[in-house]
Amino acid sequence: MDVLWYALVGLLLAGYLALESVDFGVGMLVPFAGTESGRARLRRSIVPLFLANEVWLVAFGGLLFGALPVAEGELLHALRLPFLAVLAAWFVRDGALWFRAAHEGARWRRTWDAVLAAASLVLAVGWGTVLGMLVRGLSTSSDGDAVAAMADLTHPFTLLCGALAVTGSLRQGSLHAARSLPEGSSLRVELGRLTRVLTPILLVLPLLVIATGAVVTDAPVAVGTVAALAAAGVYASDRVQATGRTGAALLLGAAPLMALPSMVGAANGTTVLATRSGEGGLELSRAIADSASLTLLTVTVLPALVLVALGQVWFWRVFTHRRG
């Protein structure tokens, strides 16, 4: 039962990244639209969605605190600087989406477009690198605690995971934005071209993750399998997109983002917070809440999560129709 709660926490994070990858990607693309009307169209394509998507992040944080209370504290302590960067970028990104429309001045709007792109990039890189570090295992401080050292942050495997998150988000953003634009518009054509450029890159990056993971993880087969599934999802997304089924292409294209938290579980099993030395880590048996708390979560949280999932499906169906 403990493993199921751990898996559910991971599933909520994977769901958040799958949904927010669209917002990350569109946010990074906004400044590169050639006209003011094009930039406004891109921004409007995510404004109805980003708050609903963030419900999954809130649910992830709440369930992490409720089901794995020790893990929540240990993770925040070990990853405090990366998490601080992600949290700051989250606030700035959301602020940029609102502040851009507060004034009509061209300089004002260009400034907030640039802020939106930078914050979206930090969010994508931040989540990718944080999860990459967790897959590989953190360093151990002189006090015997798990800590994210600079060597962990700049390791090639960590950077590959960051690149996977950024590239995957850009492809998702280009797919989503093109879906909301009129057929034949110049911006839609440019976004389609970008999608075709990003697809082969996203097929290669998981292969590099597999090769690097074989050296730096203790479960290369499990990590490699997850990365291979991510590449398969991108390939299937490309094939489906060619038939005009953009909704299915978006769903399949989320595979690289969902693979990142999945690789943490595949690499470390029931070790919630792994270190390379084996010291300062955290096992699931010590991180999990007591049985009374889990029983309460079962009767309160699980039904709420079902409603959240159904509401998310409805919200996307309503707000992702093509706009003229």
Write the pLDDT tens digit of every residue in 173-187: 999 998 888 887 888
Q: How far is it, in rounded angstroms, from Cα 61 to Cα 48? A: 22
A 10 A CB-CB count for 151 gives 9
Of the pLDDT bands very low, low, confident and very high (cuts 50, 70, 90), residue 315 is confident
Domain ranges across the chain: 2-319
- Render 107-163 in DSSP notation, one character per residue: HHHHHHHHHHHHHHHHHHHHHHHHHHHHHH-BEE-TTS-EE--HHHHTSHHHHHHHH
Would you state the pLDDT for residue 321?
Answer: 57
Would you state the pLDDT for residue 184?
Answer: 77
Average pLDDT, the chain: 91
Report, as an integer, the average pLDDT of 46-72: 88
In terms of average pLDDT, the best of 193-207, 238-252, 277-291 is 193-207
Report, as an integer, the average pLDDT of 68-85: 92
Which residues face 147 on adjacent strands?
Answer: 139
**Percent of the chain whose predicted confidence (pLDDT) is above 70:** 98
Q: How far is it, in rounded angstroms, from Cα 158 to Cα 167? A: 14
Using the predicted structure, report yes or no on whether residue 128 has a pLDDT greater than 90: yes
The CATH class, in words, for 2-319 is mainly alpha
